[in-house]
A and B are shown apart, each in its own frame.
Chain A
């Protein structure tokens, strides 16, 4: 009898253990959210690449990447800081976001981010361009992982420039130096009846790279040095701005090119995605145009130097399952074949050595002459130029924002005064506003 009782109790215990076992095994995918910058307001090519991941590796591994925001690095910067500081009303941080090191430096606690060294072996990291890896290292941790790199490029509406050149004898080579470009811009303003030739997306970078290319430090500690080379860069630039050859309104350079209010721009190579192949004039006439890319101008007596751009991807620490999923996705996105396909759809450069080997073949496959010219300019830039990386200053973003706002505001004011006064020579105003600008920046 005792045996029967013991058997029943053992059975009861076993059955109850069976019932209280592990909860339901999750058949649902691990969903990773991402904020990125590749295709703001357009049908983003990265979204298509992500769909490809979800339909292939994602399905196999049970990982789904969900895009929750496609914007620009400034918007993401603000949203990340609000979320990291747990500001009331802020959206939660996504699992992955694209940003520059400056965003990570501004975060209250960068330790909430994953160190990619923990999920990439040394051999794997050796596959990447070393400078790109170094750029993402903060306090000894690899917090910003390279997925695509860009640089600054000169875009020219060749259709309209040729019309101008035919009448004035101007040449596209004139745009290869800043002095020549600004000089041409003033001629273009006269020829076009008041329109600007050039719009620059990053005035701050113009001065920063300009000074460095002429052998002078742009920064003095965490402030702007305002040395003699700054003045050298200021003079032709301010002349063009005051006399109307340089576009000074807020917004991206793609805007005036779309409306025909400017015919050339300097911006990120990634902006190729946003240049329309037609210009729409104020009377609703449209004109098909050819947009062609060239290496950025340099100073006549300066080194050929260009800003290294392209934000990287950051990942928020999570449980092991999610971190594994993050590593799987990032490795897939930066694998040479996928990476080359991705970067050439958005105007960027690959991040692995093997990717660069595959690039020429991929360029051959491109249909768009605009994209082809971009990659030709890119290759030319790589051959002739030194790439400059901005220093990792805590106040970098503040300096950049203030600089951009102030320089545009002051020069708009100067241009308005110059127009009202109707004087021929703008050099006095040029000098006056340099002093004002230095004073304002130092005060800020």
Chain B
């Protein structure tokens, strides 16, 4: 070890006392050595996961997307809820107006086609406005009355209007086509609206989760609303979350129920899969229970690039950077964030972003290999440069130094020494007096004062000295002095 340090000192000394060319080469040599060391250090850090952690980067991307999606969904949900509450207030006023104009009590709307037709005709306009401006794919309003109490099932049959978009598309449509899903066919014809393929005259309240409960207990439109889990609309291919807002009025029980729906097709278009370097990142909004995302009860964004089955729950396993979500079919990596949704059962709801595990693992593996390989290649390249410089420049010098220490001076060096010694004899007396001062260790600047001569005279003598001794600079001359001194031959440089 001490030998190495001594050699490094010698190299440093030489680089200090030799010309610029050697110094530059020495600098490259040290840089190469340093970069090699740094390369090895980076490889160790990468392998230990302290730097270039792909998992952490992936978690960062997921977190960003998750925050955006959660914010977007919250805004959308707030907007829909606000529309629902306003619709409730508007229908409540319409019911009051109709009751007053027809001079009847609320219960007298039962078996009263004329009044119910009038009421439906009026609330049709409110609902139509909500569906066209509100962005939801469906809106409805029903009152706690039926057109015919004598038909079978009339206890669950309620009059009202439900409008649905005829087509849920992603394109911007100012006046989308709507179809009447529930309500009088006459109203549909008067308003030039088609009947939905699965049209029916009235609502079956058995298909509205929590209907009986809300009609019993609800008193406040602004507080007693709730969202249902995703449910398939009777007979249709549509599944949606329904907002249920009580229509409160001048009686103890609410007048009825209204709201909008959040259609899965709409959700699919609003929440497209994000194509990331890790794979397709999808968004799901689901109830969360027993460490499981209940995909089958929630909303699924576009699942392009994945095999996600929206009928299977995903078991959540927490991990350091992100979670693993597994079903019997596929495993995903992702992150979840709780989101406040007012539901009947008070379950926690989560917004989650998911990427198929297989793609992530492949990406992480690929990136680790690639980065390690690049750093390794770089380190090896630096090492080879250092070796090359060492062989070409440093090794011969050290070898010569070693030989000198061993008293065995190489022939060319001996020739140099002899040539220099002989050249000293050619110096004039004036030149030699300047040269001798240098030999004693004086600098150029000190000579004028020491010898009482002008700087120009010193310069002139220097020029002559360099020429006769065949050196290019004062530094080179100093280097030779030093070499002679180290070789204990400094006196050879004096005139005999």
Q: Could you tell me which A residues sit within 8 Å of B by CB distance?
A: 1, 4-5, 8-9, 11-13, 15-16, 18-21, 23-29, 31, 33, 39-44, 47, 54, 59, 64, 66, 68-71, 75, 79, 82, 88-91, 249-252, 254-255, 258-259, 261, 274, 276, 280, 282-286
Distance between Cα atoms of A367 and B310 in the complex (Å): 30
Distance between Cα atoms of A16 and B379 in the complex (Å): 11
User: Distance in Å from the Cβ of A49 to the closest Cβ of chain B?
Assistant: 13
**Can you name the residue of chain B whose Cβ is closest to the Cβ of A5?**
B384
Closest 10 CB pairs of A and B: A19-B373, A89-B172, A16-B377, A12-B380, A41-B197, A19-B370, A28-B305, A27-B358, A31-B304, A12-B377
Give the residue of A18, A20, A23, A47 whose beta carbon is less than 8 angstroms from that of B237. A47
Stretch at the interface among B74-82, B100-108, B198-206, B477-485: B198-206
**Can you name the residue of chain A whose Cβ is closest to the Cβ of B355?**
A28
Q: Is B336 an interface residue (CB 8 A)?
A: no
Give the residue of A13, A19, A23, A28 whose beta carbon is less than 8 angstroms from that of B372. A19
**Can you name the residue of chain A whose Cβ is closest to the Cβ of B185?**
A259
19 contacts between A and B (CB under 8 A): A8-B384, A15-B373, A16-B378, A19-B369, A19-B371, A19-B373, A29-B305, A29-B307, A41-B198, A54-B307, A68-B268, A75-B167, A91-B169, A250-B194, A258-B195, A276-B198, A283-B148, A283-B151, A285-B151
What A residues does B196 contact at CB under 8 A? 41
User: Distance in Å from the Cβ of B152 to the closest Cβ of chain A?
Assistant: 9
Q: Is B391 an interface residue (CB 8 A)?
A: yes
**Can you name the residue of chain A whose Cβ is closest to the Cβ of B370?**
A19
User: Distance in Å from the Cβ of A235 to the closest Cβ of chain B?
Assistant: 28
Q: Is B91 an interface residue (CB 8 A)?
A: no
Besides A5-B384, A41-B236, A42-B235, 6 other A-B contacts (C-beta < 8 A) = A1-B391, A8-B387, A24-B366, A27-B279, A75-B166, A88-B172
What B residues does A20 contact at CB under 8 A? 370, 373-374
Give the residue of A1, A15, A69 whose beta carbon is less than 8 angstroms from that of B167. A69
Distance between Cα atoms of A75 and B277 in the complex (Å): 36
What B residues does A82 contact at CB under 8 A? 171
A91 engages B366 (CB within 8 Å): no
Most-contacted residue by chain A among B146, B184, B238, B380 (CB, 10 A): B380
Distance between Cα atoms of A280 and B180 in the complex (Å): 15
What B residues does A66 contact at CB under 8 A? 302-304
What B residues does A33 contact at CB under 8 A? 304
A16 engages B373 (CB within 8 Å): yes
User: Distance in Å from the Cβ of B183 to the closest Cβ of chain A?
Assistant: 12
Q: Is B306 an interface residue (CB 8 A)?
A: yes
Distance between Cα atoms of A15 and B358 in the complex (Å): 25
**Can you name the residue of chain B whose Cβ is closest to the Cβ of A4?**
B387
Distance between Cα atoms of A29 and B273 in the complex (Å): 13
B391 engages A19 (CB within 8 Å): no
**Can you name the residue of chain B whose Cβ is closest to the Cβ of A89?**
B172
**Can you name the residue of chain B whose Cβ is closest to the Cβ of A7?**
B384
What A residues does B237 contact at CB under 8 A? 39, 41-44, 47, 70
Distance between Cα atoms of A251 and B154 in the complex (Å): 29
A79 engages B356 (CB within 8 Å): no
Q: Is B41 an interface residue (CB 8 A)?
A: no
Distance between Cα atoms of A28 and B374 in the complex (Å): 27
A282 engages B186 (CB within 8 Å): yes
What A residues does B283 contact at CB under 8 A? none
Q: A5-B387, A69-B167, A274-B197 in contact; A18/B373 too (CB < 8 A)?
A: yes
B146 engages A284 (CB within 8 Å): yes
What B residues does A259 contact at CB under 8 A? 185, 195
Distance between Cα atoms of A31 and B196 in the complex (Å): 30
Give the residue of B185, B194, B359, B369 whose beta carbon is less than 8 angstroms from that of A252. B194
B198 engages A42 (CB within 8 Å): yes
Most-contacted residue by chain A among B113, B157, B185 (CB, 10 A): B185
Q: A70-B237, A249-B189 in contact; A91/B171 too (CB < 8 A)?
A: yes
User: Distance in Å from the Cβ of B278 to the closest Cβ of chain A?
Assistant: 8
Give the residue of B151, B172, B268, B369 whose beta carbon is less than 8 angstroms from that of A284. B151
User: Distance in Å from the Cβ of A26 to the closest Cβ of chain B?
Assistant: 7
What A residues does B268 contact at CB under 8 A? 68
Distance between Cα atoms of A252 and B374 in the complex (Å): 66
What B residues does A5 contact at CB under 8 A? 384, 387-388
User: Distance in Å from the Cβ of A35 to the closest Cβ of chain B?
Assistant: 9
Q: Is B170 an interface residue (CB 8 A)?
A: yes
B235 engages A27 (CB within 8 Å): no
B384 engages A43 (CB within 8 Å): no
What A residues does B371 contact at CB under 8 A? 19
Q: A8-B384, A13-B377, A69-B167 in contact; A254/B197 too (CB < 8 A)?
A: yes
User: Distance in Å from the Cβ of A249 to the closest Cβ of chain B?
Assistant: 6
Distance between Cα atoms of A261 and B184 in the complex (Å): 13
Distance between Cα atoms of A27 and B305 in the complex (Å): 9
What A residues does B378 contact at CB under 8 A? 12, 16
B147 engages A283 (CB within 8 Å): yes
What B residues does A79 contact at CB under 8 A? 169, 171
Q: Is B192 an interface residue (CB 8 A)?
A: yes
Distance between Cα atoms of A1 and B179 in the complex (Å): 85
Distance between Cα atoms of A428 and B362 in the complex (Å): 80
B201 engages A284 (CB within 8 Å): yes
A28 engages B147 (CB within 8 Å): no
**Can you name the residue of chain A whose Cβ is closest to the Cβ of B357?**
A27
**Can you name the residue of chain A whose Cβ is closest to the Cβ of B152?**
A286
A16 engages B374 (CB within 8 Å): yes
Q: A28-B280, A28-B305, A68-B268 in contact; A255/B373 too (CB < 8 A)?
A: no
What A residues does B198 contact at CB under 8 A? 41-42, 276
User: Distance in Å from the Cβ of B29 to the closest Cβ of chain A?
Assistant: 15
**Can you name the residue of chain A whose Cβ is closest to the Cβ of B367?**
A24
User: Distance in Å from the Cβ of A22 to the closest Cβ of chain B?
Assistant: 9
B279 engages A28 (CB within 8 Å): yes
Type the 1/0 row for B156-185, where 1 means its CB is closer than 8 Å to any CB of A: 010000001011111110000101000011
Distance between Cα atoms of A91 and B306 in the complex (Å): 22
What B residues does A71 contact at CB under 8 A? 166-167
Q: Is B376 an interface residue (CB 8 A)?
A: yes
Distance between Cα atoms of A255 and B192 in the complex (Å): 13
Q: Is B8 an interface residue (CB 8 A)?
A: no
User: Which of B326-376 touch A at CB < 8 Å?
Assistant: 356, 358-359, 362-363, 366, 369-374, 376
What B residues does A285 contact at CB under 8 A? 148, 151
What A residues does B381 contact at CB under 8 A? 8-9, 12
User: Distance in Å from the Cβ of B357 to the closest Cβ of chain A?
Assistant: 9
Q: A13-B377, A69-B169 in contact; A28/B359 too (CB < 8 A)?
A: yes
B200 engages A280 (CB within 8 Å): yes
B305 engages A284 (CB within 8 Å): no
